[in-house]
Structures are given as structure tokens and as C-alpha cells.
Structure 1
Amino acid sequence: MNRSEMLRKIQSIDNLPTLPHIALTVNRMLQDEESPMEQLVAVLEKDQSLVVKLLRLVNSSFFGFKSKVQSVRHAVTLLGFNTVQNAVITISVMDTLKLKHDLKGFEVDRFWQHAVHVAVLSKHLAAKTRAAPAEEVFTAGLLHDIGKVVLVNFFPEQLTAVLEKVQKEGVRFAVAEQGLEIASHSQVGSVLAQRWMLPEALVNTIKWHHSGIQRSAQSVPAAIVEISDTIVQIMAGAPGYALKLDGLADAIKAPLVAYFKSDPQWYQTVKGEMNRACDFFKQA
């Protein structure tokens, strides 16, 4: 099955994973800048499971509030609409994306560990460079590979071929996809994100996170996620990865290089945050 056939099939699949109704409602509300806070709070409070997880996230080390946030209203007031939206998306996706079956060479725990590591590093670099909103980039980093879950569930034969090519030839996952001329996990993930009616910027980051540096003028978050993904892969010993900043917009490149030079141990600092984040999401 080639790239075009796969993309056509995805569009016709009725049982693709769906986000909870409340997440879709929140997305629609926050696209309307005039939606009142009271309405958002009322919608969120209807789902007590979501409320518990939202408050756990808000009170975690991600946000570092000195006093405990005890209500949805308090969370919305402190964080603002956009950050709450990203938190709801994060929680909903973690609950929604389940594997239908195991696939040799694809470990779901390692998949989510990588996603969380990229999310934390993306947020960290966005904050240090001030090139993009940190919480938005965190969500993009967490979801950048969601297309792989669709491949496991609906295209296991194609994914197996990719994994075998990666193993035998020592190339990056995205390079193996290109070599096999199949729909990439980036393309597949962006289709799923569109189905979920996620914000356009998030859809684009998922779609372009393997060409973000070249497209950095159009998508700064995609460039940050690509850089973070590359660094995490290198540190994990994955084959075929090299950090190249050529073509990166000066607005990101200059502060990024300055930050890397200022603290040679910067990765060890953020590594601790990555591990704490993984512990949090294992309990979520």
C-alpha cells in the first residue's frame, strides 16, 4: 500500500480514536475569544475524572505554584484559557490513544517516555529562547508522534517494514518511511489531529516536525520540536540522528546557541525534569 492509498484509507476509517466530547467542546469554545470563563468552568466541571487529572497536572512541578490550586475556576484564572486548553488536550490524548495490539519492535512505554521527554525539552527550549509559547510547544512535543499509534493499529504491515529498515540500515524512522514511499507518521498524525479539531498551529507542528528547521519561518514550534526530538534521540543512542542548526531562523538560532554555550551541563538539568514528568504521566 503506497502513500496515497494509505491517506485515502485513513480518511475513510470510521473507528479512528476519538477525543472525548468535552475536549472537543473546550476546543470549540476557546476558538471563540468571547467565550466567558464561567461557561468554560461549567463545562469542565461536568467531567469529574478530567477535573481530578487537571488539578493534579496544575499542582505538579510543571507549573510550580507555591500554593495548592483546589478548583477549576482557580486553575483557569491562574493559567488562562490557552494553557487550560493545552492541559485538557494533553490529558484527553493520554486517555484516548490506546494500542489495539502489540507490535514487535514497538514498545508503548518507550513511545510515551520519548513523547514526554520531547515535550519537556521543547517547553524548556521555548522558554529559554522565548521563541514560542512554552505550554503550547509542550503539547506539540507530547503529540508529535501520535501518527505512530495509528500506524500500529491500522497499518501494522507498513510499520513493521519501517522498523525493520531502521534496524537493518541504521537510519532515522522518518528516513525509513521516505525510502518505503509510504504515508509518514507525521502525515498520519496531522490527519488525526484535524479529525480531533485541534488548533491549526498544533496540527501543523505535528505535520512538519521532521522538516521544522527548513520551515522555521512558517513554524517556529515545529522547529523547536524537531530540535528537541533530535536531541532526545541522540541522547538515547538512536542511530542516524545529528543536530544540525543550518537553516534555522536567527530568532531561534542565536539564543539557542547562546544557551547551549552558557551551560555545558544544561541537558543534565532538564533530564531531571524529564524523569519527574515521566513519573507523573505514569500515574495519570
Structure 2
Amino acid sequence: MPTSKLDSKTRIEIWNTLKSIDNVPTMPSVYFKLDKLLSDPNASIVSVRRAIEEDPPIVAKILQRVNSGYYNLSREVNNIQQAIVMLGLTEIYNLVVELSILSMFQNMKESPYFSFDKFWKHSSGTARTASAIRKHIGISFDNVEFTSGLLHDFGRLILCIFFNELYQTVFEYSETNQSSLYDAEMEQLNFTHTEAGYWLAKRWHLPTEVSDVMLHHHDVTPKDVREHPLRAIVHLADKITNLWGFSLHPVPNFDAIEEDPIWLEAVKVYPRMATFPLDDMINILNMPIEEADTYLYQEESERNTGKVQLASLKDIVENLINGFAELQHNLEEKQLSWIDAFVKMRMALQSNIRMDLLSIYRWNADAFKLEPIFTHGDPTSALDMINFRRGKGAVRWIMQNKKPLLISNAERNSKITEKVVNSFLGVPIVTGNSFSGVMVVGCFQDGQYGDNEQYFLEVASEYVGRLFRFVE
């Protein structure tokens, strides 16, 4: 087994070999198109959909993933437009990035020491954890933390593909000497995966922030928490993911994250970091990202209030109003697309009210009709719930009477609705003194919506109406 550093020429030879390589897979053009579109505040959902549809293999992979049960949707998604509405632009972008990169390397030949499956689980887990940390402490990186987390270790892949036998000595050294892979790289190659990753980032023309993380995620210092927070977040995400067993290392490091100097500094700079649910990350790493977001939101609420259901209605409504104010601010500053704002709004509602189905309709005065702009749950059921084949229809009733409508045990009210949900609540959306739409929720559980839930939804509808002006 190797125990000492190879010839000093190794580093130069690796660099020279990398420079001569011309068969590195290239990032699909859809990645760059989406990256450009999502940084453009004037880009529309239609343009995003068209960009994705120009790459049929990616479309097929997205629909396969969305319908695989990973997102636990109750209705099959048949096209990219539906996928965007159901998941939001951020999650669709993350899917494109993840599936594009996975497709380039998924046929990679397994080696005795390098498991691509373990590598991918670690990469995906780090991306997810980085996003969870960023959302928890409330800072914005324009979603680049997901890409940075996903790609941070891709230099290892390059070393494995193009220097297979040489890189095997690194794993052997790590196992024999109980050292980290990074230290073994330095000992055996005098060259690390961070440098190989930086080379790859430049070949792929990745954003500067991503290439910086790929180069520096192993030499992060406490001062980077303030000066280079993205480096620090990916460093912590990398460590947390390793701690929960999503690791490629022959000798994983199980040092407590709470003793990491970067963690300690992060808690000082971002006090909310102290409440990050470390013990729950094993659950979150196995969840779809959208579900993990909801889980984190609920966990935070429970930590802050003891139990969500015991919090006072006043506090819940106050939190709701503050949340809408933040969404409106982010929309005005063009830091958030309207569809992502509605996804966040839906998660906030779902944490405080029973809600298996949600539909939001906006009044089109020119066309003199209500138009669906956002649904959650099973869109078919949601539409059936309010577009009935007999009777005037609940949404029309709400529109005409400008009053809430509560229906329990819907099968008993065949003149108003079909048997779709056990309990249904709809409220008018009024902006100023003008009717501007309808908001409805449905619940498959037994039991009628209560007065508090109705009041909560009426308050929410007022603020939803204020967001309509951002809808394209």
C-alpha cells in the first residue's frame, strides 16, 4: 500500500493532462438558457417552458422524476407547464441542473473503490442541505447554493475518470492511514479534487460563485462566514451530509458539527443557525426538496411556539401577514418569481390550515371570467371541485355573492358540488373594494372547517389579492 507522496512531477503531469483533454462532457445548453432566464426579472414562465422543451431528453427525465412518486403528487403531470405550476421555477431549475449533470455521468463504469451511487447521493444531499441552511437563516444566493453544493466535489469524478489507477492510490492511502480523502490527495498527488473541480468549472463556464466554491470548500475559515458566506454554507452542508452517512470517504469524519469553527462563527453571524434541525437532516435528506421545505417550516414553527396547534390565532395571523409582506418585498425587488412566491405562500398556508387541495382564481374583467392561476394537490380534483357539471357551482356562487362558502360532507350537497372532498372552503378575493378572484381549499379528512380556519383564509385571501399584480 502507498504510504508516501508520489514523484513531485505528478502535479505537473496532472495539469498537463487536464489541459489536453478534449472529451469532457459539456453542460447541456438548456442549463445556460435557464440560468440566463432566471436571472432576468422580465423573463416569463412561457420562455422558461420553451427553453426546457427544446431539450426533449430533459423534458422526459423531468416528467419521469415528477411522476415517479418522489413528489407524492396525486395526479400525473403530462407537460412542463404543469410541472412548473406544481413545483415552482426554483425546483424545476434544480431538477434541470441535477438531471442534466446526472445524465452525463450515469453510465460511468464503476470502479472497485469509487461508487458513483454514493458520490451522487453525497452531491445531491449537500445541495439539498445547502438550500435548507440558506432558507433557514434567511439569506439569498439566487439559488446558486444548490448548484454549488451539487458540484462541489465533481473534481473527484474528473480524477476518477481520467486518472483512475492513480486516484485509486488515494483511496488506498486514506483507508490505510485513516486520513481524509483530501489529505490523501495532497499526500499522494500533491494535487486535489478542488483544483480539478475548478478546472471543470472553467471548462463548463459555470458562474464565478460556483467555481469559487468548487476550489475553496476545503479551506474555509471563520472569516469566510461574513466575507464568503456561500463557501461557508457549502462547507457546513458537506460536513452535515457526511455525518449522516451520505459519504464517499473510506474513513468518514464523525466530529460533532457543533464544534466546527465555521459552525460556531455562523451561529454568531446568523443566530437562527443555532436552531437549524441537525437531528432531522436524515429525514430531510431522504425527502423531495419541496416536501423538505414544508417540513423545515413546520419544525421551525414548533420550536418557536411549542406546538403549532397551540399557537394563538392572533400570532398565526400576524406571522402570515409578515410572511406576505416579505413575499411582496421580494417580488418588488425582483428577487423572486411570482410562481415561486405562490409556492412559498402555499407552504405557509399548509402549515396552519388543513389543505389537501388549493386553487386560486383571478377575475379577468376583459374576458369576463375567472381564470385559474395556481393549484396545489390534484389539479383535476381541484377543478372538478369548483367547475361542477350541475348546479351553479361553488366558485360562481362565491363570485356572485361575495361571501365565503363552506361545505362539509360534499356528497350531501349534490346541487352545489360533486363528491370530491370531505370539506371545502372558498372565499372571495377582494382588492380594495373590487372583486378580484376566488380562493378555495379542500380537505380529505373528516370534519368541517372551523371559524378560525375560515378567518385565517379570509385574511390570507386579502394578501393573495395584493400579489396578483405580479402574475404574468
CA separation in 1, counterparts of 2:181 and 2:244?
16
Question: Which residue identity is paired with 1:255?
Answer: R
What corresponds to 1:263 in structure 2? none
Aligned counterparts of 1:124 and 1:31: Cα–Cα separation in 2? 21
User: Aligned partner of 1:272: which letter?
Assistant: N
Q: How does 1:108-119 map to 2 (within 5 A)?
A: 108-119=116-127
Within the alignment, does 1:221 sit opposite 2:230 as a pair? yes
Q: Equivalents in 2 of 1:176, 1:239: separation in Å?
A: 13
Report the Cα distance in structure 1 between the residues aligned to 2:35 and 2:209, rounded to whole angstroms: 13
Report if the CA contact (8 A) 1:120-1:274 is conserved. Answer: yes
Q: What is the identity, as a one-letter code, of the residue corresponding to 1:229?
A: D
* Aligned twin of 2:241: 232
Which one-letter code corresponds to 2:180 in the other structure? R
Q: How many residues align?
A: 271
Work out whether residues 144 and 209 of structure 2, in 8 Å CA contact, stay in contact via their aligned partners in 1: no
Which residue of the other structure, out of 5, 12, 17, is the alignment partner of 1:9? 17
Looking at structure 2, the residues matched to 139 and 63 of structure 1 have their Cα atoms a distance apart, in angstroms, of: 20
Matching of residue 205 in structure 1 with residue 213 in structure 2: yes
Does the alignment pair 1:49 with 2:57? yes
1:181 Cα offset (Å): 4.3
The answer on whether the counterparts of 1:83 and 1:135 sit within 8 Å (CA) in structure 2 is no
Question: Hey, what's the Cα distance between the residues in 2 that align with 1:68 and 1:140?
Answer: 31
Does structure 2 retain, via aligned residues, the 8 Å contact 1:213–1:226? no
Equivalent position amino acid for 1:269 in 2:
D
Q: Distance in 1 between matches of 2:94 and 2:41?
A: 16
Give the letter aligned to residue 155 of structure 2.
Answer: G
Aligned position for 1:269: 280
CA contact (8 A) 2:242 2:253 kept: no
Alignment of 1:238-257 (within 5 A): 238-242=251-255, 243=257, 244-247=259-262, 248-249=265-266, 252=269, 254-256=271-273
Greater displacement, 30-39 / 140-149: 30-39
Indicate the residue corresponding to 2:179 in structure 1: 171
SS of structure 1 residue aligned to 2:261? coil
1:58-77 alignment, distance < 5 Å = 71-73=79-81
Q: Which runs of 5+ in 1 are unaligned?
A: 261-265, 279-284
2:202 is equivalent to residue 185 of structure 1: no
Q: Deviations over 1:233-280 (max 9, x none)?
A: 233394445334325356655322x215xxxxx3443312322459xx
2: distance between equivalents of 1:58 and 1:220? 32
1:105 matched to 2:113 = yes
TM, length-normalised to structure 1? 0.78
TM-score by length of 2: 0.50
More strand by share: 2
Greater Cα radius of gyration, structure 1 or 2: 2
Say which is worse superposed, 241-250 or 7-16, in terms of deviation: 241-250
User: Which structure is higher in RCO with an 8 Å CA cutoff and minimum separation 6?
Assistant: 1
Partner of 1:121: 129
Structure 2 unaligned spans of 5+: 1-8, 290-472
1:13 CA displacement: 0.4
Q: 1:190 to 1:84 in 2, by over 3 A?
A: farther
Give the 3 Å change call, closer, same or farther, for CA 59–220 of structure 1 in structure 2: farther
Deviation per CA, 1:93-138, whole angstroms, max 9, x where unpaired? 0111246433222111111122222222222222212234484323
Q: 8 Å contact 1:211–1:223 — kept in the other structure?
A: no
CA distance in 2: counterparts of 1:101 and 1:165, whole angstroms: 22
Aligned to 2:147: 139
The structure where helix makes up a greater share of residues is 1
Q: Following TM superposition, by how much is the alpha carbon of 1:64 offset from its aligned partner in structure 2, in angstroms?
A: 8.7
Q: Residue 130 of structure 2 contacts residue 233 of structure 2 at CA under 8 Å; is this kept in 1?
A: yes
One-letter identity of the residue aligned with 1:148:
R
Cα RMSD of the aligned pairs, angstroms, is 3.4
CA distance in 1, matches of 2:221, 2:230: 10
